[in-house]
Every structure is written in structure tokens, then in C-alpha cells.
Structure 1
Amino acid sequence: MKPLLNFDRDDRGVVTLTMNDDATRNALTGSAIVDEFLAAFERIQADHGVGAVIITGSGKAFSSGGNIAEMGRQTRPEYTPSALRHEYRQGIQRLPLALQALEVPTIAAVNGPAIGAGCDLACMCDIRIASEQALFAESFVKLGLIAGDGGSWYLPRLIGMSRAAEMTFTGDAVSASQALEWGLVSRVVPAAALMDEAYGLAHRITANPADALRMSKRLLREGQLGRLDTVLEMAAAFQALAHKSDEHARAVQDFLERRAARKK
């Protein structure tokens, strides 16, 4: 059986995770793809040579979100609300928790439609870049559902409550250009250029020291949640570690040597 998630690591510290289930347009439920994501994150977390992760989809879609056939199973009488609650907590809800904890910067390269949980997966990443063919839809309400995977936490933080409410209450799709205007994505590029753009960005990230990147990401994430004094205390501790790193010492020495050379 082919993997649902392809794992590729280049020699510059960039891991690309490509969802590879064309039959379901890279659905995130009804399969083992969440387990494969979590296994990949554990592998990345343990590899301190990794400085960035790109998440993308094969085929025409980024991710269709929930598998509709799987939803049909969940409507059967034997699946009680209690059992379904447990299934969510032990299933797809592990994905946002794992991505939130992942120390390495993440880029969603959204190649096509990102629907429902697929939209939320893109929102879980630190940076989103989109193909001109991308669409984003928080479409749960159209199926009589809610965002069971964390979308209601991520989306307002990215685009504000009013626009998040519009997407959530209508379920309507947002084009790549609209997503750019709303700040949901950082940039929109032609489809053929998407991965080149993603790798270019990832390599600019990995050109920086890996430990500083990981601590910077942790501070950004904590800054969304914590009090200022708590985040400042964490920043002081992280900065103390950074000041003692070999990378910082080399950067300072290089700067001083270049300045001295200019004065000659």
C-alpha cells in the first residue's frame, strides 16, 4: 500500500510532506493520514538539521477535508455522540495539537482547493502561500457540521473575527486573490511556480541557525496565548541560550571583521 503522505528531505534542511491520496482529494479523515503526519512530525522534531517543513498536496487539490463516505458511517445509530467525541479527540484533533507543538517553521503550499479541514490544515501552518488555483472554504456548515479540528481557533487569529465569521457562517469559498487581500495567505503565485516559491522561501529560512528558528517559532506561538510578562520571561531565557550559541558567536565575529575591513 502506498503511503498517504510522502516524506522528502533535501540537503538544505527542508522537509516536504506531500499528501498523496488522489482518490479522496487528500481527505484528512477515514484513513491513516493523521497517523502518518504525526509520525513525520516526530521524525522532524528529532532531526535538528531540519529547519523548515513544506506541506502540500498531490493532484488538483490541497485537501478536501473530511471524507464524505466516512461521514455516512458516522451517522449510523451505533455511533453514539460519546463515541464520536472520543473519535475526534483521538483522531483529527491530534493534528492541530502536533502542529502547534512542532518547533520547526511550517509552510503550507496550497496547490488547489483547501476545503473544510483542509482549509484548517493550511491555517495550522505558520506561513501560507497559494497557487492561483487555490480556494479556501470553511465549509462545515453546508454539511450541518462545525469545525471539529480547530478552525474556529485559528481562522479568527489569521483574518479577524468578522471575516472568519463570514467564511464560517456562509461556508462559501474564498479565491486565492481574496485570501491574499484578507491576509490568509502571504502571496499568490502561478501554479507552475508554487513549489519553486515554497522552496525559495524555505531555503531562506533554513539559511538561519536551526535553534534560533525553533525558539523564535515557540515565542511567536506563545505570543498568541500568553501574557506579556510570561512571554518576556520566556524570551529572556531563550535569548540567554542564543547568546551562548556557536552560531551567534560566529555571526558577531563576522560582523565585527567586516566592519573593521570597511574602516581600513
Structure 2
Amino acid sequence: MTDILLREVDEGIVTLTLNRPEQRNPISESDMIDALCNALEEADADWSARVVILTGTGSAFSTGGNIHSMRQGAGLVDQSAVRTRYNYRNGIQRLPLLFERLEIPVLAAVNGPAIGAGCDLACMCDIRIASTKARFAESFVKLGIVPGDGGAWLLPRVVGFAKACEMAFTGDLINAYEALACGLVSQVVEPEALMETTRELAKRIASNAPHAVRMTKRLLREGRTASLSAILECSAAAQALSHTTPEHAEAVTAFLARSAATQPKA
């Protein structure tokens, strides 16, 4: 792991921190994409890891793409449009595809501005908690480009179609409380409380049976695009697996013991 992405593990919680504060944590460069993909895949494959927290160093969560790399011949942008298409598909577009495959829950602790691809990165996560200093913008049109990282798929599923259109067509910034009102984030807290609040939520998730949590996430993700009949079929299969796990047996035994202890004695 390079120092552009910091990794910390504590009590089954993996904290990944984007660490290019001087550039406001862009995610479009190949080394950052590789680092993020590798760290997330490692966490997903580790059964001792229960939850991932994603955040940024410095004043920003992520300002998305590096504007200095948007000129032709730099970064993802090649002199050839065909090559640029290839660069997007094999570069930043790896991230939304990976997030959609992950079974481990991912929480975003949005410490500051999440702009463009940074806003979309937050949308890739399962839950978002924002600092009062957070700002969000689907700002691609401000640069004369479109959401090349999947934002047109991600954002409407988080905030609804009309609000996604408003954000994407205007590129305007919204503050943390506006993000809370439209469902982009689930909590807004003071900056000094952000990581503690996010960790407390992560601990509550981590305290549950890992197999059940991961399979529940899979069902919720699939439910966004699958039919009811398909989800019911997947749910039946996942439930059959759940009934065989030791965590389920232990939970049922503990519940019955508590229930027996509270019953009035004859």
C-alpha cells in the first residue's frame, strides 16, 4: 500500500484515507485507482474485516478528477478519442464496478467538499455521513464534460431522478444540510465528531453476523435493478445459507435463553 492511500484496521473496521491533501484528493489518477481497488478487494476478501470507512485527509473528501490532467495528452485524455474511451473503461470506471461487487459495507465519512467524481465516489458507498464542512456538486457540466465515472447511474439512485437532474444540469454546490434533506447523506455532524460518529455506526454494523450483513447488502444492491421475483429467489437462497451458520444458531439460542429467563415461574 502506498502512502497516497492510508489504511488502518481496528476491531474489524478498515479505515481507508485518501491522502493527497495538497491536490484535494483526486481519484482519477491510475495509482490512486489501483490503490483503492486493491485495498477494497483485500478488505472484501478478509472475513475478519466487517466494515470499511472511506474518508480524506486535509480539507476535502475528494475533488474528483485532477483538472491539470484533463488537457489532451494528459491523464485519461488521449489525442485519440478511441484511446480516451479505453482509458476511462480501464481507469476510473473500475471503481463503480468494484463498489457494486463488494459485499463488505462501505461508509463514507465526508470531511469536506466531494466534487464531481468525488461526489460520485461518495454515492458508490452504502452510507454517507457528512461534516458540516462538506459540500457536494455533480459539477461535470461546469467543465463541459459528462459524468464519465457512472454518476448518471449512481446519483439518481441516491437522491432521486429530479434532484439528480437538478444537480447534474446546474453543477451547483449544495451544503451538508441540503445533502441531508435530499437523502444524499444520512447524518450531518460537527467536523470534530465525524470520525467518532462514523466509527460508532461501523461498530453497530460490525457487531452483527458478518455472513448475514454481507448477504443483506448483496440483496439490497441487487434489488435496485432486479425484479421482485428474482429478488425473492435470491433471498430464499441466501436465507437457506443463513440458517446453516453458527452465528444464526448462537443468536437463536441466546434469544430463547433470554425469553425463558423473563417468563414468570409457576
Please state which band the TM-score falls in when normalised by the shorter chain: over 0.9
Residues 52/2 of structure 1: CA separation in 2 closer, same or farther (3 Å cut) = closer
Q: What is the match of residue 7 of structure 2?
A: 7
How far did residue 31 of structure 1 move? 4.4
Corresponding residue for residue 245 of structure 1: 245
Residue of structure 2 in register with 1:17 after alignment: 16
Q: Which runs of 4+ in 1 moved over 6 A?
A: none
| Cα distance in 2 for residues equivalent to 1:122 and 1:28 | 12
1-structure distance, mates of 2:7, 2:183: 29
Question: 2: CA distance between counterparts of 1:99 and 1:15?
Answer: 15
Instruction: Tell me, in whole angstroms, the C-alpha distance in 2 between the residues paired with 1:246 and 1:59.
Output: 43
TM-superposed deviation, 1:128: 0.4
Q: Residue 108 of structure 1 contacts residue 125 of structure 1 at CA under 8 Å; is this kept in 2?
A: yes
Q: Which residue in the other structure is 1:179 paired with? A: 179
1:179: how far off?
0.3
Mapping 1:179-218, distance limit 5 Å: 179-218=179-218
Query: Which residue does 1:154 correspond to in 2?
Result: 154
Q: How far did residue 41 of structure 1 move?
A: 1.5
Q: Does 1:36 align with 2:35?
A: yes
Question: Would you say the 8 A contact 1:74–1:84 is kept in 2?
Answer: no
Alignment of 1:167 with 2:167, yes or no, is yes
Instruction: Give the corresponding residue for 2:87.
Output: 87
Number of matched residues? 263
Identity %: 53
Report 1:39-118 matches (<5 A). Answer: 39-74=38-73, 79-118=79-118
Deviation at 1:73, TM superposition (A): 3.9
The structural deviation recorded for 1:74 is 4.2
SS at match of 2:136: strand
Per the normalisation by structure 2, the TM-score is 0.96
SS in structure 2 opposite 1:72?
Answer: coil
Provide the C-alpha distance between the structure 1 equivalents of 2:178 and 2:37, rounded to a whole number of angstroms: 31
Structure 2 unaligned spans of 5+: none
AA aligned to 2:188 is V
Deviation at 1:158, TM superposition (A): 1.0
Output the amino acid matched with 2:47. H
Structure 1 residue 2: deviation in Å?
5.1
Moved more, 179-188 or 28-37: 28-37
* Letter in structure 2 aligned against 1:33: M
CA distance in structure 2 between the partners assigned to 1:99 and 1:111 by the alignment:
20
After TM superposition, give the deviation of residue 75 of structure 1 in Å: 7.3
State the AA in 2 paired with 1:34: I
CA distance in 2, matches of 1:127, 1:94: 20
The AA in structure 1 aligned to 2:39 is: A
In the TM superposition, residue 23 of structure 1 has moved relative to its aligned partner by 2.0
Query: Partner of 1:142 in structure 2?
Result: 142
Deviation at 1:46, TM superposition (A): 1.6
Letter of the 1:79 counterpart: Q
